[in-house]
Amino acid sequence: MPEGTTPVIGGESGDGAGRSAWSAPARALTGWLLLAALVVLLDRLSKLAVLEVLKSTQVVEYTGFFNLVLAFNRGAAFSFLADAGGWQRWFFSAVAVLAALVMLWLLQRHATERLFAFSLAMLLGGAIGNVIDRLVHGHVIDFLDFHFDFLAPLFTGGHFPAFNLADSAITLGAACLLLDEFIRVRRGR
């Protein structure tokens, strides 16, 4: 490296004349990873607070359509495979870890694509939040309970299955991923 130049993260070198030490993709990647970490932190803190305040069968009614509950989900979404006998804990944990690795790889490659990277950061944070539950507790801690009369034909008493902040981040990430793909397809026409 020539004297007087400094390395720039991202593979470039520069003379330091007003340039950042980080490339734009590296800065973007760092931001998305921090967002994913924030999702994990908020998810963990909310679950710890709920574990501290609520008992297993307790329901705290806030509105005519929203309660706080303490529910333990040993399965996947909508308690899929919840009664499978225990192997699902390790299976879903392994799937989440593999998915997180793929999302990290995709984030590194597409960090400057805002909507796509936002989607991945939400999915990553949510996946890590729930896998922590599986590894630490053997189940995912759910506590948000929304209920509406129009859901009664689908769910007992109209109660949508309880969920948590990690689930919300996963849902938002999936919705934004679909939106990103829709926008990409529309631009291609």
Q: Any idea which residues carry the catalytic annotation?
A: 142, 167
Contacts of 186 (CB under 8 A, 6+ apart): none
Question: Do 171 and 127 touch, CB atoms closer than 8 A?
Answer: no
Burial of residue 162 (number of CB atoms within 10 Å: 0-12, 13-18, 19+): buried
Question: Do 140 and 134 touch, CB atoms closer than 8 A?
Answer: yes
Nearest-5° Cα angle at 120, 116 to 123: 140
Which helix H or strand E contains 28, and what residues bound it? helix 24-53
